[in-house]
Structure 1
Amino acid sequence: MEPLRIHQGLVVPLNRPNIDTDQIIPKQFLKRIERSGFGQFLFYNWRFDDQGNPRPDFPLNAPQYKGASILVAGENFGCGSSREHAPWAVQDFGFKVIIAPSYADIFKNNCVKNGILAIQANEEQVQIIMKKAETEGYTVTVNLEEQVVYDHDGFEFHFEIAPYPKEMLLNGWDEIGVTLTYEEKIKQYELSSIR
């Protein structure tokens, strides 16, 4: 995974609460065995009609949001089943940061494991970003080291993140990567147990 320290990106608003993992990645697309290739199916039932044509009224289909890397959404994002495919789809589509008032715990933890920063902001902050994101080309900068989100108009807020997930994201580590930081100690232990 790539380290995430400071990220500036185009924001796309998805002003809906309780977006569950079955809407993020519908069950019919869970047959893939690799972690890539899920982005094309992100929010599939909302992005496409029954014939597979893009719905023009869905934000991710709008030309002004092409290439967006920051998703702002309503409360309880990622609720539903614990499928890890949901953050895989979010990441594969190109999102590096999600901003929402609240998340399902399992989804938020799976985001960290897959290099996505899920920022919890209060409802007022989220609504400000939603409104600003309705204008074309709205970007924000996320500074994970300083734990701050800001734009070029003076809007700014600080966010909380626990030290362990922060370290994982800053270094681009998944759980295997964290384990490998102890590789020398593991080797020493293995050698000492052989004797």
Structure 2
Amino acid sequence: MRLLFVCHGNICRSPMAQSVMQNFINQSGLSERASVDSAATHTDEIGSPPYYETQRVLKEQKVPLVAHRAVQVTPADYERYDLILCMDDENMRSLGRIFRGKDMAKVKFLLEFEEGNFADCDALNFKGALKQTALNLKSGGSNLTASERLQIADPYYTRDFERCYADIKRGCEGLLRYIKNSDGIC
């Protein structure tokens, strides 16, 4: 399974998710079943390394930082990857423009994989849209909509890199469970 994590600039959230997921894959012995990359929806930071705060949080969490320079998503990436994971609504809209005319079923929010956000692995059907009836989003007593609960805020603006890491880790833990339970066929 080829995974692509996507955020706005490819210097904060997506390289953090790439590093976290690669670490999980390596620790789980799944390197033969999954590969991980990341990219940006915009050109703002192309060629830049991960933001220093991203590097700091990963180091504090003892997660090895993958070798990385920011790149932009291309229309060809739609065919290159089995699953494309974005962080927020803005990323999803941008990917819709980049992949114009393509079935967006393989494009998901990372937090769709958080435990409790889907009933079972069959709910994530890559030949069709996510079955909305399978979503069982946890509100945690908040008034957030389902869409709002799937957002991972951009720490470049919020400055909350620890919260970003916690959100990404939860999503990647669920994604790892999905990979372990899947047939590896997308």
> Same fold per TM (> 0.5)?
no
Instruction: Pick the structure with more helix per residue.
Output: 2
Instruction: Pick the structure with more strand per residue.
Output: 1
* Structure number with larger C-alpha Rg: 1
Normalised TM-score (structure 1)? 0.29
